[in-house]
Structure 1
Amino acid sequence: MSQTTDKPATVAPSATPSEAELSAWATLPRDEQVRRYQKLFQQPDCNRFTSDSAEDILAAARQRVVERRHG
């Protein structure tokens, strides 16, 4: 008879981890955590750069909200 667990089978770094993911991540050795971060940052989306500042990005987002409300 199999036993279920709340811990995910494979856990990856996340900006919004669940409690189960946090628990599973904490059980990984540090070198495995580092390896998983490195794998995550090798993805193409992590290699896109912009010359916009954080303020530029925020101003553009606010402008889109205004346009959506009045457009």
Structure 2
Amino acid sequence: MTDATTRAIPSALPPSEAELVEWQALSREEQLARYREVLQHPDCQRISASTMSDIRAEAQRRAAVRRG
């Protein structure tokens, strides 16, 4: 097994211990730069008529379906 280098970025998922340590080691400026990088990704540039409440409700519905 080889050591994989992690690059901590903001995520909706909880970070692994290694990602958390790396994130906390970054300066505030670098953390902000990584947030900006993620938020400027083309996937984040799409326009939607859905509200945050709509998106959350749909995510909860999908999670409930997966749980059975």
Query: In angstroms, what is the RMSD of aligned CA positions?
Result: 3.3
Distance 1:62 1:9 in 2: 32
Give the number of aligned pairs. 61
For residue 22 of structure 1, what is the aligned residue in structure 2? Answer: 20
Q: Deviations over 1:36-67 (max 9, x none)?
A: 111111101111232123247626x749x4xx
Q: Percent identity?
A: 40
Distance 1:34 1:56 in 2: 25
| TM-score, normalised with respect to structure 1 | 0.61
| TM-score, normalised with respect to structure 2 | 0.63
For residue 7 of structure 2, what is the aligned residue in structure 1? Answer: 10
